[in-house]
C-alpha cells in the first residue's frame, strides 16, 4: 500500500495521527507543544511502537513553525485545532479566545499547498451562536491565499472572502471543502462522541468525495440485547443476571420486534463499554500487569454526572478545562456500583492500541485521552480520503 505523506498540527497524544498511520498515511512531522502529550509520543517512539517509531515530533508552538524547513511538499495537512474556544468546558468564546488556532491551520494549508486537508473539532463549533464564525473558518480554508491584513478585524476579512466566493473564478489556490458532524459510535467506536470533521481537496484535482457511510446502529444493539439476546450470550451473561430493558428504550424495542418481523436491522450493532473492556482483568487484582490499568478509588455519582452504563456506548470522555471531570470518566455497573475508568480502559473506549502507552499521572493521562480523536474513526475517514488520492 502506497504511503501518502502528511504533516499534523496540534497532535496531542496521537489519536488522529495513529488512525491516519493505520490507514496508510505517513507523517513527515507532528507538531505539539504540550509537554505531557509530547512525553507520551516520545515514550512510544522509544518503545518502538510500530505506528509511532518513525514519527518526527516538533515540540513547538505551531505559530513558530517554518513549514519550508520541514517539508517542501506533502499530500495532506491534518490536525485538531484547540477545541476549548468552542466547547462548553472552555467557555465557548470562539474568536475572542486566544487559543483559537484555526488561522494557523489555514497558514499551513497556504504554505504547503497540499492535495487535501483534514481538520476536526468539537460539535460546539456548530452552535448557532458560532454560525457566522464557522462560515468564516470554512471560507478561509476554501481561499487560503486571501490573507487577513494587518489591523483588519475578522468580520472585514470575512466580507472580502464572501465577495471572492460570489465573484469570478481565478487561478489562485482554492479548495473544495465539506464538513460533517460524525458520531464515533456509528463507526464502531464504543463511545457516543460527536466531532466535526472538515475535509478539503485542492480544486484543480477535480476530486469527488463524501464522508463514509455509518456501519453501526443503536437499533441493531437493541435487537441483539432485547429481541434475540445474542449480545448477552456473547458475553455469557445468564438470563437471571441480565438487567431490565431501560425505560427509555422500551418503545423502541417493541417497535423493532414488530416492524422487522424477526429480521434484525442491517449493519452492525453499537459497541458497548462491556465490549471494549470485558477481557481486561479487574484493576484491583494484584496480578494485574496491564500497562496504564491501575485502580483509582473515590468514584461517586452526582446530579448530571452518573457515569457510562456498562452495556451501552460510553458517554464522551472529556478532558475538562480545569482538571478531569470525574462524572464522565466513571463506569456505572448493573448492580448500582461505580468506579473510575482506568487509563487503559479509557484508551480502549477511544480505540487506542493496547501497546500504546500514556505518560503522566491518571489525571494527566485521562486529559490526553479525553482530548483525542478516536483512533478507529480517524482510520476510517483517513482511509476514505487516501483512496480518493490513488
Q: Could you list the active site residues?
A: 83
Compute the distance between CA of residue 8 and CA of residue 247 in angstroms, rounded to an integer: 44
Task: Name every residue whose Cβ is closer than 8 Å to that of residue 344 and which is 6 or more positions away in sequence.
Answer: 280, 290, 291, 292, 293, 354
Q: Is the separation of the CB atoms in 282 and 348 below 8 Å?
A: no
Q: Is the separation of the CB atoms in 93 and 127 below 8 Å?
A: no
Q: What are the phi and psi torsion angles at 20 (to 5°)?
A: -70, -40
- Between the CA of residue 211 and those of 89, 214, 324, 378, what are the distances in Å? 28, 9, 32, 12
H or E element: which one contains 196? strand 194-202
Compute the distance between CA of residue 216 and CA of residue 214 in angstroms, rounded to an integer: 6
Q: Is the separation of the CB atoms in 177 and 138 below 8 Å?
A: yes
Picking from 144, 62, 72, the residue whose alpha carbon sits closest to that of residue 112 is 72
Q: Is the separation of the CB atoms in 357 and 347 below 8 Å?
A: no
Amino acid at each position: 500500500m502506497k504511503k501518502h505523506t502528511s504533516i499534523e498540527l496540534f497532535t496531542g497524544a496521537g489519536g488522529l495521527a495513529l488512525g491516519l498511520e493505520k490507514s496508510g498515511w505517513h507523517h513527515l512531522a507532528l507538531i505539539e507543544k504540550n509537554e505531557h502529550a509530547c512525553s507520551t509520543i516520545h515514550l512510544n517512539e522509544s518503545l518502538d511502537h510500530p505506528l509511532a517509531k518513525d514519527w518526527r515530533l516538533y515540540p513547538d508552538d505551531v505559530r513558530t513553525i517554518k513549514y519550508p524547513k520541514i517539508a517542501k511538499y506533502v499530500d495532506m495537512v491534518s490536525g485538531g485545532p484547540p477545541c476549548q474556544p468552542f466547547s462548553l468546558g472552555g467557555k465557548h468564546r470562539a474568536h475572542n479566545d486566544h487559543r483559537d488556532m484555526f488561522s494557523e491551520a489555514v497558514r499551513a494549508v497556504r504554505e504547503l499547498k497540499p492535495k487535501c486537508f483534514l481538520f476536526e473539532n468539537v460539535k460546539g463549533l456548530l452552535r448557532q451562536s458560532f454560525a457566522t464564525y464557522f462560515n468564516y473558518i470554512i471560507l478561509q480554508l476554501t481561499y487560503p491565499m486571501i490573507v487577513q491584513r494587518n489591523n483588519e478585524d475578522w468580520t472585514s476579512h470575512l466580507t472580502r472572502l464572501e465577495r471572492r466566493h460570489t465573484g469570478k473564478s481565478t487561478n489562485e489556490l482554492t479548495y473544495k471543502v465539506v464538513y460533517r458532524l460524525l458520531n464515533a459510535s456509528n463507526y464502531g467506536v464504543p463511545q457516543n462522541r460527536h466531532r466535526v470533521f472538515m475535509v478539503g481537496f485542492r480544486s484543480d484535482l477535480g476530486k469527488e468525495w463524501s464522508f463514509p457511510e455509518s456501519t453501526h446502529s443503536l437499533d441493531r444493539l437493541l435487537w441483539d440485547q432485547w429481541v434475540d439476546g445474542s449480545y448477552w450470550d456473547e458475553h455469557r451473561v445468564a438470563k437471571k443476571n441480565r438487567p431490565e430493558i431501560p425505560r427509555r428504550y422500551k418503545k423502541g424495542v417493541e417497535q423493532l420486534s414488530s416492524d422487522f418481523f424477526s429480521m434484525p436491522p442491517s449493519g452492525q450493532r453499537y459497541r458497548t463499554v462491556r465490549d471494549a473492556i470485558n477481557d481486561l482483568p479487574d484493576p484491583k487484582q494484584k496480578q494485574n500487569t496491564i500497562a496504564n490499568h491501575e485502580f483509582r478509588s473515590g468514584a461517586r455519582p452526582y446530579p448530571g454526572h452518573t457515569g457510562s452504563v456498562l452495556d451501552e456506548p460510553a458517554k464522551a470522555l472529556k478532558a475538562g478545562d480545569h482538571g478531569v471531570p470525574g462524572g464522565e470518566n466513571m463506569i456505572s455497573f448493573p448492580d448500582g456500583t461505580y468506579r473510575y475508568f482506568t487509563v487503559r480502559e479509557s484508551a480502549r473506549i477511544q480505540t487506542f492500541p493496547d501497546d500504546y502507552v500514556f505518560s503522566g499521572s491518571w489525571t494527566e493521562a485521562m486529559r490526553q485521552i479525553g482530548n483525542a480523536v478516536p483512533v478507529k474513526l480517524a482510520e476510517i475517514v483517513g482511509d476514505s480520503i487516501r483512496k480518493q488520492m490513488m
